[in-house]
Amino acid sequence: MGDNSSIVTIAREGGITLFGSIIDNLLRFAFLMIITRLITQTTYGQFTLATSIILFSYQVFDLNIANAINYFIPIHIKENRYGHAKSVLFKGITLGTTTTVLGSSLIVWSAPFLSDFFDEPRLKIALYLLSVTLPLLGIFRIFLAVFDSIKNLKYRVYTEKILRPAGKIIFTIILYFILEDLIALIGGFIISLVLTVIISAYFIRGSISEIIGSIGKSTSYKSLVTYSWPLIFSGMIYAGIGQIDLFAIGYFLPSADVGAYNVAFALASTLVIFLSSLRRIHKPIVAENRNDNSELEFFYRLITRWRLLLIIPPAITLIIAPDVYLSLFFTEEYAAAGSVVTILSIRLLLLAAIGPQIKTLEGIGYTQFVFINSALILILNTLLNILFIPMFGIVGAALGTLVASVIGSLVGICELYYYRGIQPITRTQMRISASMFLTSFVGYIVSSIISGLLLALLLPIIIITTNLACLRLTNSFTDKEREIAERIDSKVGYKIAQYLIR
């Protein structure tokens, strides 16, 4: 069960994305470390609030067309219908660009009201300037969907993971010495995005020449919208989920708390690289095997266990010593957000254990369930924020996000099990969980003995070593993983991977 070439593709493209995500997070961390030392927490909070409004608006107005492209193009390519794939791509770009331009106009019109609502006078000029990014973000997301569709994720890595964050650092620092601090942040954001879109277009032209050179076949806008319309609303909802904490904190608390929460969220979100590295390649494979339940369950379980194997060591590290890393990477004033990092890290660990239910539902075509689940998460998150933030501050926002996300994801896996018989639990998964608890116990003992910089340096090494030893003792690695390790070692020239998981 499980086509060997597909497994190798998941491992190869997932590895490429993981490498790119690590570089991306290093660059993003470098950006935050530099910015939090150059500007005040209040200014960073204002920039965070402005970009949150822009990203929310973009998700609302781009109609989630990229998800439709990522669904239809793999199907057309598999059936050698390149003309249909071309039509899907160009109609998607036309539709997405039109709606995001309308969104930009609305941002400009509503900027004074939003500035008054959040009681931030500088927010108005920030929104005026950032409004130009909505169409650019829409086009860029479509380009990324094409890279996913052709299962060539190196171009996503080059553009999204390396070029854009590196450009943001370089241009922001240059502008900081020329312009006012908030304007410099905005300028770096805009210039890096423009450059990334141009380079992405160059890669697109070279990587899908068969599609671009084909004669376009009739594909209606209706087919795109029919698939996308539940995702349009779920996209709006997920945009709300992604930004609702910042909006609520900005309403109930000072803008400095928005900046503190965003820094803590950024630290916890480093764990996302271990989830997203496999998520991108998963949906096209689901779309190709959407009628074979046994294959769908095989790949679902495979992705879930690999996500767990990857995320456990860094998650435990952040759960045990969040304040140490906040102080080390940023400044002491951000260490107070340590509890936020712990809660959000637990959230991502639980989501990894549940599995990639959203991309699986989308790949099968159950987009209506994605919408329903997204709405449930947003409603719960909003209500819990209103309840918890006045009581617990930014910790309340993190608690609301954890509870809402886990409940929504559990509903998703229940839907997959009811309609397709898919569920993630296996014996090896239970062994991985047992290894995780043993590793956590050792980590807490270490954290009670040492502290500060020494703990920051030694804890990851101890966690990784202990977890690997526990996995080997519980015989948690499979024959497929040993086969992949053998392939890796044959390229490296040394039997390193085989030794680690034997």
Q: Given a cut of 70, is residue 14 above it in pLDDT?
A: no
**413-427: average pLDDT:** 83
Q: How confident is the model at residue 445 (pLDDT cuts 50, 70, 90)?
A: very high
At residue 385, the pLDDT reads 92
pLDDT score for 297: 79
Task: Supply 315's token pair.
Answer: 């998650």
Confirm if 69 and 223 have CB atoms less than 8 A apart.
Answer: no
3-state helix, strand, coil in the chain (%, to 5): 85, 0, 15
**pLDDT, tens digit (0-9, with 9 covering 90-100), for 448-477:** 888 888 988 899 899 988 988 888 887 766
Give 240's contacts (C-beta < 8 A, 6+ positions apart). 56, 378, 382
Contact criterion met (CB below 8 Å) for 380 and 426 = no
- pTM of structure: 0.69
Checking 210-214 for CB contacts under 8 A at 24+ apart, the result is 210/82, 211/73, 211/77, 211/82, 211/85, 211/86, 211/89, 212/86, 214/82, 214/83, 214/85, 214/86
Alpha helices in 39-163 (DSSP H): 41-61, 65-78, 82-117, 123-130, 133-149, 154-156
**Residue spans of beta strands (DSSP E) within 167-206:** none
CA–CA separation, 43 and 310 (whole Å): 35
Q: What is the pLDDT of residues 100-151, one digit of tens each?
A: 899 999 999 999 998 888 888 888 999 999 999 999 998 888 888 777 766 6
Q: Is the pLDDT of residue 334 over 90?
A: no
Query: What average pLDDT does range 418-433 have in this prediction?
Result: 81
The residue type at 400:
G
Do the Cβ atoms of 164 and 196 come closer than 8 Å?
yes
Q: How confident is the model at residue 168 (pLDDT cuts 50, 70, 90)?
A: very high
Confidence of residue 283 (pLDDT cuts 50, 70, 90): low
Q: What is the pLDDT of residue 209?
A: 54
pLDDT value at residue 185: 93
Percent of the chain clearing pLDDT 70 (strictly above): 76
CA distances from 458 to 313, 320, 450, 464, 469 (A): 13, 13, 9, 10, 17
Whether the CB-CB separation of 334 and 260 falls below 8 Å is answered with yes
| Coil/strand/helix, residue 153 | coil
Q: Distance between CA 422 and CA 295 in Å, rounded? A: 10
Mean pLDDT: which of 87-91, 225-229, 280-284, 438-442 is highest? 438-442
Rounded to whole angstroms, the Cα distance separating 91 from 219 reads 8
Model confidence at 330, in pLDDT bands (50, 70, 90)? confident
Say which DSSP state 208 is in.
-
Average pLDDT, rounded, for the chain: 79
Please spell the DSSP secondary structure of 384-435, one letter per residue. Answer: HHHHHHHHHTHHHHHHHHHHHHHHHHHHHHHHHHHHH------HHHHHHHHH
Tell me how far apart the alpha carbons of residues 352 and 274 are, in angstroms, rounded to a whole number. Answer: 9
